[in-house]
Amino acid sequence: MTATDTGRRGGRDAKVRQRNLTRLEAKVNSERARAEFAGTLNELEDKLNVPKQLRIKTERAKVEFRRFANEQPVAAMAAAAGVVAAVGVTVWLVVRTVTK
């Protein structure tokens, strides 16, 4: 082995190291892209899952109504009575239409 052989081998080793580093970078980049893609899919699933969205919105409405009822109990009772009356009238109209 001469000094020139060592120089060539060192250049070859540098190329191999660079190629391996590039492979590692590609692997890291692909893992990062997979993680981002999985996160995006999870977000889409959450947004497009109608039963889950209804459950979340129902819970929010319950919390807001409870807060409203605690702050203004008379107004909350009036709102509840209005909802009951609207549902009652709707049921009455449906029954009346079906029985005719």
Domain contains 40:
yes
Q: Is residue 31 part of a domain?
A: yes
22/10 Cα distance (integer angstroms): 18
In a domain, 18, yes or no: yes
| pLDDT bracket for residue 70 (50, 70, 90) | very high
The pLDDT > 70 percentage for the chain reads 90
Tokens 């109209």 belong to 93
* Token code pair at residue 27: 């692997």
CA 35 – CA 48 distance, rounded (Å)? 20
Give the count of beta carbons closer than 10 Å to the beta carbon of residue 68.
13
Domain of residue 53, residue span: 3-72
pLDDT digits (tens, 9 = 90+) for 5-54: 544 556 788 777 777 778 888 888 899 999 999 999 999 998 899 999 99
Per-residue confidence (pLDDT) for residue 1, from 0 to 100: 46
Cβ(69)–Cβ(76) below 8 Å: yes
For residue 65, is pLDDT > 70? Answer: yes
